[in-house]
Amino acid sequence: MALTPDDVVTKQFQHVRFKEGFDPDEVDDFLDEIVVEWRKTIAENEELKAKLAALESGEAAPAT
């Protein structure tokens, strides 16, 4: 199964008591940034695939 941005958003980790670790809020904020950029990349990839398919089929590229 491919990992999706929604998988990152919904991933839950167990809290460990009495051990050092990372600030959960800082980790969540960073993961939120990753998801935003990942979604942009996926959308751009889909747009480029559509343009490539149109060019390969001899059609005009779809407007953006």
pTM for this prediction: 0.67
pLDDT at 35: 92
The C-alpha atoms of residue 32 and residue 9 are separated, in whole angstroms, by: 7
Do the Cβ atoms of 62 and 51 come closer than 8 Å?
yes
For the chain of 64 residues, list the mean pLDDT of each consecutive stretch of 10: 84 77 85 92 96 88 57
pLDDT at 56: 93
DSSP, collapsed to helix, strand or coil, labels residue 11 as coil
